[in-house]
Amino acid sequence: MTDDDRIKLEPSWKEALRAEFDQPYMQQLREFLRQEYAAGKEIYPPGPLIFNALNSTPLDQVKVVILGQDPYHGPGQAHGLCFSVQPGIPTPPSLVNIYKELHRDLNIEIPTHGCLQHWADQGVLLLNTTMTVERANAASHAKKGWEFFTDRIIELVSEHQPNTVFLLWGAHAQSKQKLIDGTKHLVLKSVHPSPLSAYRGFLGCGHFSRTNKFLEQHGLTPVEWALPPL
């Protein structure tokens, strides 16, 4: 995919992931996506935004990782950052609950939009473990190869970055804990912020204040979780 002029990858990630692009799984994933596009299927996010999480947050700037599952599958929503939607799109239910916990935890005013680009620009890697999806077909690109690629991304952060906070919300995200060196990083776990589960422990988890406390203890700049208006 990086050999496509329309799809760019930030240099530090391109170098760190270079070997992955030659792996058989990546060749199979490329072919799968080529066939999907050739069949006229609408794929989200748009090609230039598939790697938005990596392009927004270079490897050496990552200090927090939030894991999602796959992109939103409604028109105009996905832009390559997990839980985030493009400007002008209504805030999805899980993100509403994230905002509720932010308000409870840090007394931050609930934002009027759902675009989390401000977090990504500060070193919060907003990574979906599957990076593309077909319109109106949730999880349609799961188990096509993306998981091998994003597992390697998680491993690279764990290996190369010091004192990173990993926020694992829900069983799918928590299944990635084995990729993280818990002796050097802070791993915070809770149920998913979905309306189906948030009341069982996400609301009240205090992950945002705990993240900033850990970062400050290790001489790192805390995340400004408040989102500026668009």
Residues labelled as active-site residues: 70
The span from the first CA to the last CA of the chain, in angstroms, equals: 31
Beta-carbon contacts of 83 under 8 Å, excluding residues fewer than 6 positions away, are: 66, 68, 92, 94, 95, 98, 116, 126, 193
Rounded to whole angstroms, how far apart are CA atoms 80 and 93? Answer: 18
Q: Which amino acid is at 123?
A: G
Rounded to whole angstroms, how far apart are CA atoms 67 and 172? Answer: 9
64-68/165-169 β-pairing: parallel
